[in-house]
Structure 1
Amino acid sequence: MNKQLLFLLIAILSYNCYSQISFEKGYFIDNEGNRHEVLIKNEDWRKNPEHFDYKTSEAAPVQTAGIESIEEFGVDNFSKFYRAKVEIDRSLDRMNKLSTQRQPDFKEEVLLLKVLLEGRASLYKYEGDGVTRYFYSNDNSPIEQLVYKKYSTPNMQVGTNNSFRQQLWNDLTCPEITLDRIEKVDYKEGELVKFFREYNECQGSTIVYEQAQKKFLFNLNLRPRINSSSLKIENSASSRTNTDFGQEITFGFGIEAEAILPFHKNKWSVFTEPTYQSFNKTVESERGSVYGGILISKSNYSSLEIPIGVRHYFFLNKNSKIFLNAAYITDFTFGSTIEFEREDGTGLGTLELSSLNNFAIGLGHKFKDKYSMELRVFTDRDVFMNFLTWYSDYKSVSFILGYTLF
């Protein structure tokens, strides 16, 4: 990895980090029931927060309010949280952490619950510490957890406690909602929201608030690039054919599929980017009388790189954002060889190339969600996976342009 370029990426990133802070119109209600109209730092919380930052005006200093001092807070047209003392079961669903008990292990906690839907029957969500739990209330009843738990049975099978369906049947009855309908409800946000919406509509109750359902956004990007690459090969058994191919400017092309994750205000994404690249170069080197005076080495290296990575955006303004990404790259070579011959054309051998995987880190800028450019630095790659005595050092840096089709 080129350390100077990596340092430059980190320095530019650090310089721009402050631009992502966004304070938006919101409110909070304090312990005395007083409502305060403020500007709240909207972090699009994936996990339920215990505090938030706010300002009383654009020019005012940043203050922090915590769960102990507020009853409720919200960001206008975005999210809403309500403080409640509840019984919560934090049993984990991971296979190596499953409880042997079917019944939930409730403990009383004070939480800021995310409001998913508010009406005669209200639905809430808690996410944190590896668990996701849904809570509900009906006709202003105390907030209770909807019970769902995976557990290990005595015969080492995975059992599931779906008592939440019995709770729905007992507490949210309506002529238009049948037992068969409830049996089809899964312990998932979208399905529970849909059910609570149906119940409120069946009861003629006005839904006073509903969290907008977030969806994965998808981008398809065309990504031509210029590569600055170098290749050096060595044989630990004999140095006679060691070759430094030097630097080469090449061109490549990739098609990137990117999924924007539905939290933290679309700042995170995952992507894959199949990319064609090649390094074809011939060098001549003086080797004395051993190879007739001149050794000719020919690199014919072509491959399809398939990176799988994660990307984080830093918003500068409405039309402009920078991004930092990291990727793990699988490289598939095809028809790739290194050939050796004498000056008179006599062949001295051919090595078939097969690459090891490597990593890359990139820094880029995107404009109007349409045009982008990126500087990407790759870790060293060995193209001699199938040889014990041969070693290679393939280095590459790419300047990538991007155009978003949709």
Structure 2
Amino acid sequence: MTKTLLSFFLFATLSSTIYSQISYEKGYYISSAGQKVDCFIKNVDWKNNPLEIEYKLSENSTPEKATINNIKEFAINGISKYQRHRVNIDRSSKNIKYITSDKNPVFKEEVLFLKVLIEGKSNLYEYVDGQLKRFFYNKDGSLVEQLIYKKYKTSDNRVGDNNKFRQQLWVNLKCGDIQMNDIEKLDYNTNELTRFFTEYNQCTNSELTSYLPKQQQNPFHLSLRPRLNSSSVSLDFESSESSTIDFDNQQSFGFGLEIEYVFPFNKNKWAIALEPTYQSYSAESTVNVDNVVGGILDVNVDYTSIELPLTLRHYLFLDENSKIFLNVSYVFDFSSGSSLEFVRADDSILNETELDSKGNVAFGLGYKFKNRYSAELRYQTSRELLGDFLPSSPNYDSLSFILGVSLF
């Protein structure tokens, strides 16, 4: 099993090296001097607003870097656009532990790349840095300002909301079709604000450009996952002639139902999954012992459980229809009706112990086709089946070949 694990890691590492490249896509940047340069920009589908980009002047040229210090705008054609602005930003936390009684924003001047969401008579921008999300706007080329929203602690120790952004919109972006009642209902989030700025630009008959991401597919996937398991149990047994008993490797079928969530950033390369899985193992072995009447013990393992792997998954895209994936999982295990039994030569039971399995780690390498069909090879590190019973300490190892079909 150790050789199998080593081969698995070598294969996974090689696969990652070959296939993990992120594509360079057509775009441009504008230098601080105002020069527009067409190029190919490395599209990492930024979760946080970047401070630099990597680009190529041609598809086959050497990658170069440009930072916020020497470019004032860049865009990936038809996908995203960022502009450099000097703005006052309030970085007050929304975490209840850190909010204060000051309801007013605490501004600090910074130079940032702001993501353009809506472009028109009035522009909407977004800035994300970890848990911090702020929206900015301007109108008719004016200076960019933050739309103000802040959580604060009220005098009676409750959490209040400073929704000044609604007043900013009402005062500065009036249009005949927009009513105060519409603005009073707005929440400080991407969907609500992009809808408002779209309506405002349409109301003013201005040319409108949206840089919102294309409608994402359902990030949740449910898959049926039958599998063939190759499993073995080893047992340290100090009273036998050999210190370790290796039970026969057994092949068995298992079945899992996986729910996966694909994160909406980094080009959908990361996901988490939860997969309740049924598995079973049964084997027996005969050992010679020197401290039991008859000198022989039959050792029986009967092990059935529901595994619950919590998985972090990374996808490596090959083309539009094909991708491979790497998994690392922590496997919670819930055994039921499982036992380890020691039987003397006269069929009398020396000891029978209920198994109490522990959690373990698993690694997987797989391939997915058209986001529907998949195959995976999964190795599970040793799992303790019995924590405190001595002198025996059984360990369970398994290698699984898993097929999958996605229901949605």
TM-score for the superposition, normalised by structure 1:
0.90
Range that drifts further, 167-176 or 277-286 = 167-176
After the TM superposition, which residues 68-83 of structure 1 pair with which residues of structure 2 at under 5 Å, given as runs?
A: 68-83=69-84
The CA deviation string for residues 185-222 of structure 1, in whole angstroms up to 9 with x for no partner, is 21111121112112222333331233225535333323
Range that drifts further, 74-83 or 225-234 = 225-234
Q: Tell me the amino acid that sits aligned with residue 367 of structure 1.
A: F
Secondary structure of 1:381's match? strand
Number of aligned residue pairs: 404
Q: Tell me the amino acid that sits aligned with residue 119 of structure 2.
A: E
Range that drifts further, 375-384 or 45-54 = 375-384
Deviation at 1:384, TM superposition (A): 2.5
Range that drifts further, 182-191 or 200-209 = 200-209
Aligned equivalents of 1:334 and 1:76: distance in 2? Answer: 56
The CA deviation string for residues 20-66 of structure 1, in whole angstroms up to 9 with x for no partner, is 23111111222233322221111111111111111222222222222
Secondary structure of 1:180's match? helix
Change (3 A) 1:387 1:191: farther
Correspondence for 2:297: 295
- In the alignment, is residue 103 of structure 1 matched against residue 104 of structure 2? yes
| Structure 1: runs of 5+ lacking an equivalent | none
Deviation at 1:358, TM superposition (A): 2.0
Correspondence for 2:234: 232
After the TM superposition, which residues 321-360 of structure 1 pair with which residues of structure 2 at under 5 Å, given as runs?
A: 321-360=323-362
Correspondence for 1:60: 61
Correspondence for 1:375: 377
1:364 to 356, 366, 369: 366
Q: Tell me the amino acid that sits aligned with residue 64 of structure 2.
A: Q
Aligned equivalents of 2:26 and 2:7: distance in 1? Answer: 40
8 Å Cα contact 2:114/2:126 also seen in 1: yes
Aligned equivalents of 1:152 and 1:6: distance in 2? Answer: 53
Q: Tell me the amino acid that sits aligned with residue 52 of structure 2.
A: H
The CA deviation string for residues 243-262 of structure 1, in whole angstroms up to 9 with x for no partner, is 54353232222122222221
RMSD across aligned C-alpha pairs, in angstroms?
Answer: 2.7
Deviation at 1:80, TM superposition (A): 0.8
8 Å Cα contact 1:340/1:348 also seen in 2: yes
Change (3 A) 1:135 1:291: farther
Secondary structure of 1:166's match? helix
- In the alignment, is residue 21 of structure 1 matched against residue 22 of structure 2? yes
Aligned equivalents of 1:117 and 1:53: distance in 2? Answer: 25
Change (3 A) 1:225 1:186: same
Aligned equivalents of 1:289 and 1:310: distance in 2? Answer: 48
Deviation at 1:388, TM superposition (A): 8.3
Change (3 A) 1:160 1:354: farther
8 Å Cα contact 1:125/1:133 also seen in 2: yes
8 Å Cα contact 2:117/2:125 also seen in 1: yes
Aligned equivalents of 1:379 and 1:156: distance in 2? Answer: 50
- In the alignment, is residue 144 of structure 1 matched against residue 145 of structure 2? yes
Aligned equivalents of 1:205 and 1:382: distance in 2? Answer: 67
8 Å Cα contact 2:292/2:344 also seen in 1: no
- In the alignment, is residue 161 of structure 1 matched against residue 162 of structure 2? yes
Secondary structure of 2:181's match? helix
Correspondence for 2:41: 40
Change (3 A) 1:391 1:156: farther
Range that drifts further, 72-81 or 62-71 = 62-71
Aligned equivalents of 1:6 and 1:102: distance in 2? Answer: 55
Correspondence for 1:402: 404
Aligned equivalents of 1:7 and 1:36: distance in 2? Answer: 42
8 Å Cα contact 2:32/2:71 also seen in 1: yes
8 Å Cα contact 1:20/1:316 also seen in 2: no
Aligned equivalents of 1:336 and 1:179: distance in 2? Answer: 66
Deviation at 1:302, TM superposition (A): 0.9
Correspondence for 1:207: 208
Aligned equivalents of 1:101 and 1:151: distance in 2? Answer: 6
Secondary structure of 1:265's match? helix
Change (3 A) 1:328 1:160: farther
8 Å Cα contact 2:224/2:405 also seen in 1: yes
Aligned equivalents of 1:37 and 1:282: distance in 2? Answer: 69
After the TM superposition, which residues 116-155 of structure 1 pair with which residues of structure 2 at under 5 Å, given as runs?
A: 116-153=117-154
Q: Tell me the amino acid that sits aligned with residue 314 of structure 1.
A: L
8 Å Cα contact 1:5/1:377 also seen in 2: no
Q: Tell me the amino acid that sits aligned with residue 322 of structure 1.
A: I
Aligned equivalents of 1:96 and 1:23: distance in 2? Answer: 41
Aligned equivalents of 1:54 and 1:13: distance in 2? Answer: 24
Change (3 A) 1:333 1:210: same
Aligned equivalents of 1:376 and 1:325: distance in 2? Answer: 8
Aligned equivalents of 2:103 and 2:119: distance in 1? Answer: 30
Deviation at 1:15, TM superposition (A): 2.8
